[in-house]
Chains A and B, each alone.
Chain A
Amino acid sequence: MEKYLSLLSFGDTGWGDELLQGALVTISIALATLPFGLALGLLVALASRSQSKIISGLATLYTTVFRGVPELLTLYIIYFGGQILLQRLWSGLGFSGSLSISPFLAGMMALGLVLAAFSSEVWVGALNSISKGQREGAAALGLTRGQAFRLVVLPQLFRVALPGLGNNWMVLLKETSLVSVITLQDVMFIATRANVATKEPFLFFSAALLIYLFFSILSAWGIGRMEMRANRGFAR
């Protein structure tokens, strides 16, 4: 027991501080991905409702692809593909030497693209829930389409989309563990490294699991609070 406690302690001999740092990285990448993925998802949702068949077709293609391909595969394609693309660009500009794409950025992009595909479905549902009369009313008041979207539709959208987006967030939080395979130093990566160093996989992967569980439970609580707040104007 003493041995395990010392392994999890802070300082040079223990892995406690490293694990906490990993937890911070996990939360950072999830939080950094969220706005990018949600904004792109909203764009895709708006595109899928477009009058133009080409634009709505492209939106459908986008969601089909990124919902159907394993996240791990998307991650590899972005990471290695981005690397090759960047290198070509760099050499094409006449520079020498090698460039590499940061795991954080690659992970953020890959997870963001997937999140956009999944959240766009939620956005579409929310957009559909806003009755046509609202837009007609806005038009009757002389609001432009942009104003109507920004001032009338958008504020209502969030309330309806919140449960679905909450689900997206929980999935995202867990998916960040995949970024450890391209060497981002998140909880999962630290646990793997600690396992290699100490040969105590059970201890460290359990610790990692508990950290993820803590974040999940905290998120579920937070989302519940947000939903309550968003729905405060609506009688149940």
Chain B
Amino acid sequence: MRWCEAPGFYIGHEVLERYGCRMADGLVLTLKLVGISSTLGFVLAIGLGLLRLRGPKPVRYAIAGYTTFFRGTPLLCQLFLIYYGLGTFRVFWQDLGLWWFFREPFYCCLLAFTVNTAAYQAEIIRGSLQALPKGQMEAGRALGMRPTAIFLKIEMPQALLIGLRPLGNELITMIKVSAIASLVTLFDLMGATRLAFARSFDLSIYLWAALIYLALVEIIRRVWGLMETRLTRHLAMR
């Protein structure tokens, strides 16, 4: 017996035992999708958030448009546009040598999730940067620090502290919405569960999947709580 069959076996849940390994693989895929897209999205969001505030005017407007668009429309629709819509320009992608990317539902999902979460995270980072008191930057300048140094050593550490909790919430949201990957033929946790249900008509398998998602979200919440207490320990003294 493989380890992933064990929970179903010990609980005495036949369907969970039979599909346990598929669901475990699905969980790994979910984590991969969310992990990669959230990380890439975060890197993008720092640039976008900063340019949204201090870039040249056209850039500022462009980024405002970008965030409004991706935050104002459902991720499901964005995913379908990328997966089905961009997939129709096959010849174009082949000419560019990018067809391998748009052919794969996994990469399409990654792209959709990344651009979506980047928009949300950019807004969080923008808000956090704006929340910093002006005196911080002025003090940095008075000390003769260069703008890059001020940004990296003074602004960013504090802004990320302010944005820590909303960024955690965004990560949790991503875990939840990643379930729609199952709608473009991917077997993430949701996809594997749908398969198990379609073959067994045992509704309780959905409840087990719900429990797994719940556990995942709870773990992130706890870890984030620990991170917050640790990172703000210099503020707790007051």
Binding site for B on A (CB under 8 A): 64-65, 67-74, 76-77, 80-81, 84, 170, 174-178, 180-181, 188, 191-192, 195, 199-202, 205-206, 208-209, 212-213, 216-217, 220
Contact = CB atoms under 8 A, between A and B. Distances in A.
A69 B210 contact: yes
Interface residues of B: mostly helix, strand, loop or mixed? helix
A175 B209 CA distance: 20
A201 B214 contact: no
Q: Which 3 A-B pairs have the closest CB atoms?
A: A216-B72, A201-B84, A202-B85
B58 interface: no
A220 B64 CA distance: 14
B197 A206 contact: no
Nearest to A65: B214
Contacts of A217: 68, 72
B73 A213 contact: yes
Interface stretch (B6-14, B75-83, B129-137, B153-161): B75-83
How many residues of B sit at the interface, in one of the four size bands?
A: 35 or more
Interface string B150-170: 000000000000000000000
Interface residues of A: mostly helix, strand, loop or mixed? helix
Contacts of B183: 181
Contacts of B210: 65, 69, 73-74, 77
A180 B79 CA distance: 14
Interface of B: 68-69, 71-78, 80-81, 84-89, 172, 175-180, 182-183, 190, 193-194, 197, 203, 206-207, 209-210, 213-214, 217-218
Given A73-B213, A217-B72, A80 B197 contact: yes
Contacts, number: 115
Given A72-B190, A77-B206, A202 B86 contact: yes
A176 B71 CA distance: 15
A212 B88 contact: no
Given A69-B210, A216-B73, A206 B179 contact: no
A73 B190 contact: yes
Contacts of A208: 77
A132 B191 CA distance: 49
In this complex, the member of A69, A80, A208 whose beta carbon has the largest number of chain B beta carbons within 10 angstroms is A69
6 contacts: A67-B217, A68-B214, A212-B77, A213-B68, A216-B68, A220-B72
